[in-house]
């Protein structure tokens, strides 16, 4: 009987050490930027960032090899499997409803055209990139429930100057467009079916953290909304000795809250999203809400 307790302590601390080892190379942060615009609209930009670092991942990035993931923790397995299988190095997908009004609203945090846009940089390990692209597009259609399968050779291009890699990339790679594919479907309708699978890629369930604010109703009556996934290899230090994989899931929307009888703009999170924010995501290292009122100062000086 006496030996039971110390053994448990030993076992438990081994678990704790293992957990810390595994958890240390995955981080998750959630942030919301709220920006009242001079036009009276409110721009909300959500960003959920998951990073994953390990010697194997860093090695694959520096040597332009395919990723081979082991021990998924916070990173979404469903996306990881697609990335591994289709030789993806960097991926940007956006699904947008409505047009961003630059003249009225200024610049968005991330620009996205109406409809669906997908651009991908592949590892140089693929022999038949056109086939890999087609297969990837089909896999992503299933993952995010969008009709990306309308992407084919007639609407796919490999731009020479724009859509350069946003992550770690040596010049020989970044300047060779034969490793990338770009396609846009301006008519793709964005709806609730895309939001649910996009939320499922997050480590916390839909009830905790900032994602709890994302209910379909207010989103789909907004003047503009854009849902996106950005995956890229990024540096962990200034010399980039070790690199990590970074996934940013972003959602931007523009709403027009009611103005009060006195002409003031009065709004609350509850009014904008129709749900209360109760819990933070326990897996998040950072959970923050920022309110940027610089536009207010500009308009009051006029």
Ligand X SMILES: *[C@@H]1O[C@H](CO)[C@@H](O)[C@H](O)[C@H]1NC(C)=O
* Of 288, 293, 286, residue with least CA distance to 277: 288
By CB under 6 A, residue 178 contacts ligand X: yes
Q: Which is nearer to ligand X, 54 or 285 (CB)?
A: 285
For residue 173, the minimal CB distance to ligand X (Å) is: 9
Please, which of residues 269-288 interact with ligand X by CB under 6 A? 285-286
Burial 106-122 (b: 16+ CB within 10 A, else e): eebebebebbbbbbbbb
Residues 6-45, one symbol each (x = binds ligand X by CB under 6 A, - = not), give: ---------------------x------------------
Least separation, in Å, of the C-beta of 176 and ligand X? 4
Sheet bearing 42-52, strands edge to edge = 156-157, 180-185, 115-122, 88-97, 224-235, 243-255, 42-52, 26-36, 286-291
Number of residues that bind ligand X (CB under 6 A): 6
Based on CB atoms, which residue is closest to ligand X, 176 or 265? 176
Min CB(286)–ligand X separation in Å: 5
User: Is 27 or 228 the residue whose CB approaches ligand X more closely?
Assistant: 27
176 versus 280: smaller Cβ distance to ligand X: 176
Looking at beta carbons only, is 194 or 287 nearer to ligand X?
A: 287
In the complex, minimum distance from the CB of residue 292 to ligand X, in angstroms, rounded to a whole number: 20
Least distance between ligand X and beta carbon 94 (Å): 27
Binding residues among 85-144 for ligand X as defined by CB under 6 A: 124
> Which residues, in sequence order, are CB contacts of 70 under 8 Å at separation 6+?
56
Question: Cβ 64 to ligand X, closest distance in Å?
Answer: 11
Q: Which is nearer to ligand X, 177 or 265 (CB)?
A: 177
CA distances in angstroms from 11 to 4, 7, 187, listed in the order given: 11, 6, 57
For ligand X, what does the binding mask look like between residues 229 and 268, x meaning CB under 6 A?
----------------------------------------
What are the structure tokens assigned to 138, written together? 């089909």
The smaller minimum CB distance to ligand X, of residues 141 and 285, is found at: 285
The β-bridge partners of 183 are 118, 156
Tokens 């939320």 correspond to: 199
Q: Specify the residue, 113 or 124, whose C-beta has the smaller distance to ligand X.
A: 124
- Residue selected from 166, 176, 280, 296 as contacting ligand X according to rule CB under 6 A: 176
Binding mask 200-219 for ligand X (x = CB under 6 A): --------------------
Chain residues binding ligand X by CB under 6 A are 27, 124, 176, 178, 285-286
């Amino acid at each position: 009987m006496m030996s039971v307790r110390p053994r448990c302590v030993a076992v438990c601390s081994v678990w704790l050490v293992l957990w810390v080892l595994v958890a240390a190379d995955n981080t998750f942060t959630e942030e919301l930027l709220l920006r009242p615009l001079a036009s009276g609209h409110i721009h909300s930009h959500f960003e959920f960032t998951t990073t994953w670092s390990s010697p194997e991942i860093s090695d694959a990035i520096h040597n332009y090899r395919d990723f081979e993931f082991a021990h998924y923790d916070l990173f979404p397995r469903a996306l990881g499997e697609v990335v591994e299988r289709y030789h993806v190095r960097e991926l940007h997908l956006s699904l947008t409803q409505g047009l961003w009004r630059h003249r009225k609203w200024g610049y968005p945090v991330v620009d996205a055209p109406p409809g669906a846009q997908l651009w991908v940089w592949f590892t140089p390990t693929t022999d038949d990139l056109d086939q890999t692209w087609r297969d990837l597009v089909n896999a992503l259609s299933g993952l995010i429930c969008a009709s990306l399968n309308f992407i084919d050779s007639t609407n796919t291009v490999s731009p020479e100057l724009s859509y350069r890699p946003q992550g770690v990339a040596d010049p020989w790679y970044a300047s060779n467009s034969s490793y990338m594919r770009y396609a846009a479907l301006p008519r793709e309708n964005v709806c609730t079916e895309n939001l649910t699978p996009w939320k499922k890629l997050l480590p916390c369930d839909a009830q905790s953290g900032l994602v709890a604010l994302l209910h379909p109703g207010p989103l789909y009556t907004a003047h503009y909304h854009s849902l996106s996934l950005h995956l890229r290899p990024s540096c962990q230090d200034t010399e980039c000795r070790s690199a990590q994989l970074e996934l940013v899931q972003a959602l931007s929307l523009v709403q027009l809250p009611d103005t009060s009888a006195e002409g003031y703009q009065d709004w609350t999170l509850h009014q904008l999203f129709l749900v209360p924010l109760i819990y933070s995501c326990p897996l998040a290292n950072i959970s923050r809400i920022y309110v940027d009122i610089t536009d207010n100062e500009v308009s009051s000086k006029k």
